[in-house]
Structure 1
Amino acid sequence: MFFAFAGYARIATLGEEVRDPRSTIPRAVVLSLGIVLAVYLVLAVIALRTLGVDGLAESTAPLSDVVRAAGHGGWVAVVALGASAACLGALLGLIAGVGRTALAMARHGDLPSALAVVHPQRSVPQRAEITLGIVLVVLVIMTDLRAAVGVSSFCVLVYYAIANASALRQSGEFRRYPRFVAWTGLVGCVVLAITLPISAVIVGGALLAAALAGRWAILHGTDAPEERDEIRGSDHREP
């Protein structure tokens, strides 16, 4: 269920591509989450009423089975086409959001600096997004996506937990919600992360440990302080 909602926060990474991000992005996050929740609830009720609990539990293509059970088998191809379009839409959102994350990491030396390039007219990180698209194609072809979902959920929960912990330190005009909201999110992320399949926790933890070790090696592998400052990134960069 968590993975089904993962992604709406990608909106928060697009601050450089929208007008008035301080008001636009929070409104977009709340609206998108609310709309998706309503759609999920409607579909869940329809599927349960049509297939029943046991039938839905055994189904590998529930929406197609709902259409068949309702006596409209000819529409199964349309449902499959709609599902494919929805997956592509989610993929585009993923590429846009993670591309921005890769851009920020490249600016701070956590990824190759060649990815820290923004298109002069469209203001999108084209190199990061193209690279991400290639990586995703390779992953789809070469990995078990069910295992990837578990590992992805663990890593996302970890950085969501960090985001909630960071929100606890907000103050003044930057605080939008009471502290208990961030505490609830932090505890919820930690609980969900440790209750994932043990294989996902081990692989996800190993990936994060390797990334942290690599970052430590990069930051401490330079001799001159100015080189370390350059790797960490600077807030005084060209817009």
Structure 2
Amino acid sequence: MSAPSGPASTPTNPPGLERRLGLGDAVMIGLGSMIGAGVFVVFAPAAASAGALLFVGLLVVAVVAWCNARSTARLAAAHPTSGGAYAYGRAELGHWWGFVAGWCFVVGKTASCAAMALAVAAYAAPAELERYVAVAAVVALTIVNALGVTKTAVVTRVIVVLVLAVLVVVVAAGVAAGGAAEGTRALDAAPAVLGSVYGVLQSAGLLFFAFAGYARIATLGEEVRAPERTIPRAVTISFVVALVVYAAVALVCMLALGVDGLAASREPLADVVRAAGWAEAVPIVQAGAALAALGTLLGLMAGIGRTSFAMAREGDLPRFLDHVHPRSRVPVRAELVLGGVVVLLVLFVDVPTAVTLSSAGVLVYYAVANLSAFRLAARVPAVRALRATAIVGLVGCVVLVLALPPVAAASALGVVLFGVLGRAVVLRARDRT
């Protein structure tokens, strides 16, 4: 029989997952999911959309992302269980809302996994071997996740430190290039054309792809010690660090390349290093991009596996996935199935298709999270001030979805409807048995 609809209680926590992670682990996992491949590729298309108003787009997405982060953190503290907005939607709004959030998260982030795997290969392998290297990366990280969440945290910590070191090199090169005559002239010669409102919003939507990793922290609700304190703090710290890093990188890219040069660049951070005359550092930046994509892929796969586990536990995905390995204490079946699906995507889709579906799906996911936060604030006086944050986040998510190219919005709607109809058919079949 299907679970009753309407406002649902928080899903019962299973005995399988252990609270092993502290604040530092949670922050590093969040940073590993945010400061990933996006920072190496997202500023060029964002500059092409927003022009000289790139920083306005960054400000817009920062506001929306911050509201999403605050809503997510409060919900995670109130409902310290696996599943993120899937669990929050079920608890605050009802089963169907939770399913929509969970389905969009799984689909969108699975597409992100494929994009990140292909990004790893693009930086680390010749063109003819890219898909094979991408498959190898997915298989390797699936094994890492299956071995245990503490190993995920350790690997992510190492990758984050190395990537931040690479970004320090890029910022230093950008300052040097910006201070040179060529860099100054490039910035001065940049067209003073202000991007349209639509262009700014589209750039914000693109930049959101690089901010969305803080949802990864919320999916660790059953594996973080003292989640009511740790998760809000980890979300805040990782968000602020990522914002500072993105602002610094965007600034040096514009200083070194100018708006036109940045918009036209295929690898803007490597071009910043070239503009400074530091050709020997280009391979370091390329290696950093590959590491960043690996870090993002690692965090994404762990988060999706746990959301799939939570959905299977509630009957929204096959019960086969509701299993925790007795030794590693992680949902191994969900991790392995996810790895197989990502391998198939890597073999048959391209990066633009994967990124488009991911952006739309994740924005819908956060829309449900903000709606859930609004409901939480309405019924719990202690967090009533959260209502304004939730409203801004909800409206922001809807606006950014509408600012996406029409094909992206239509694809996202089609995927959501497919999932909803599929669940309706399954529930009806269960009711008949």
TM-score scaled by length of structure 1: 0.89
Q: Per the alignment, in what secondary structure is the counterpart of residue 102 of structure 1? A: helix
Q: Are 1:185 and 2:418 an aligned pair?
A: no
2:373–2:386 CA contact under 8 A, matched in 1: no
Q: Per the alignment, in what secondary structure is the counterpart of residue 222 of structure 1? A: helix
Q: Per the alignment, in what secondary structure is the counterpart of residue 328 of structure 2? A: coil
User: Quick one: distance in 1 between partners of 2:332 and 2:232?
Assistant: 25
Residues 1-239 of structure 1 aligned to structure 2 (within 5 Å): 1-170=207-376, 171-172=379-380, 175=383, 177-223=385-431
Would you identify which runs of 4 or more consecutive aligned residues in structure 1 move more than 6 Å? none
Structure 1 residues 127 and 187: CA distance shift in structure 2, 3 A: same
2:357–2:412 CA contact under 8 A, matched in 1: yes
C-alpha deviation, 1:50, in angstroms: 1.0
C-alpha deviation, 1:100, in angstroms: 1.0
C-alpha deviation, 1:137, in angstroms: 2.2
Q: Per the alignment, in what secondary structure is the counterpart of residue 152 of structure 1? A: helix
Alpha-carbon displacement from aligned partner over 1:123-151 (angstroms, at most 9, x marks no partner): 32121122212222221221122122111
Structure 1 residues 146 and 63: CA distance shift in structure 2, 3 A: same
1:68–1:76 CA contact under 8 A, matched in 2: yes
Larger relative contact order (Cα-Cα within 8 Å, sequence gap ≥ 6) = 2
User: Quick one: distance in 1 between partners of 2:327 and 2:230?
Assistant: 21
Q: Aligned Cα RMSD in Å?
A: 1.6
Alpha-carbon displacement from aligned partner over 1:12-32 (angstroms, at most 9, x marks no partner): 011111111111111111111
Structure 1 residues 23 and 174: CA distance shift in structure 2, 3 A: farther
User: Quick one: distance in 2 between partners of 1:75 and 1:105?
Assistant: 45
C-alpha deviation, 1:121, in angstroms: 3.7
2:308–2:334 CA contact under 8 A, matched in 1: yes
Identical-pair percentage: 53
Q: Per the alignment, in what secondary structure is the counterpart of residue 316 of structure 2? A: coil
The residue aligned with 1:230 is none
Alpha-carbon displacement from aligned partner over 1:185-234 (angstroms, at most 9, x marks no partner): 0101111112211111111111110100111111111246xx7xxxxxxx
Structure 1 residues 96 and 196: CA distance shift in structure 2, 3 A: same
User: Quick one: distance in 2 between partners of 1:52 and 1:124?
Assistant: 47
Q: What letter corresponds to residue 105 of structure 1 in structure 2? A: M
1:16–1:123 CA contact under 8 A, matched in 2: no
Q: Per the alignment, in what secondary structure is the counterpart of residue 168 of structure 1? A: helix
User: Quick one: distance in 2 between partners of 1:173 and 1:100?
Assistant: 31
1:17–1:124 CA contact under 8 A, matched in 2: no
Greater shift after overlay, 85-94 or 152-161?
A: 152-161
Structure 1 residues 161 and 89: CA distance shift in structure 2, 3 A: same
Alpha-carbon displacement from aligned partner over 1:84-128 (angstroms, at most 9, x marks no partner): 001100111101111111011111112111111112343321211
2:360–2:401 CA contact under 8 A, matched in 1: yes
User: Quick one: distance in 1 between partners of 2:424 and 2:404?
Assistant: 28
Q: What letter corresponds to residue 140 of structure 1 in structure 2? A: V
C-alpha deviation, 1:180, in angstroms: 0.3
C-alpha deviation, 1:173, in angstroms: 7.2
User: Quick one: distance in 2 between partners of 1:126 and 1:65?
Assistant: 41
Q: What letter corresponds to residue 337 of structure 2 in structure 1? A: T
User: Quick one: distance in 2 between partners of 1:119 and 1:157?
Assistant: 32
C-alpha deviation, 1:174, in angstroms: 7.0
Q: What letter corresponds to residue 324 of structure 2 in structure 1? A: V
Q: What letter corresponds to residue 74 of structure 1 in structure 2? A: E
User: Quick one: distance in 1 between partners of 2:286 and 2:229?
Assistant: 37
Equivalences, count: 225
Structure 1 residues 55 and 85: CA distance shift in structure 2, 3 A: same
Q: Per the alignment, in what secondary structure is the counterpart of residue 17 of structure 1? A: coil
Q: What letter corresponds to residue 108 of structure 1 in structure 2? A: E
1:63–1:79 CA contact under 8 A, matched in 2: yes
C-alpha deviation, 1:76, in angstroms: 0.9
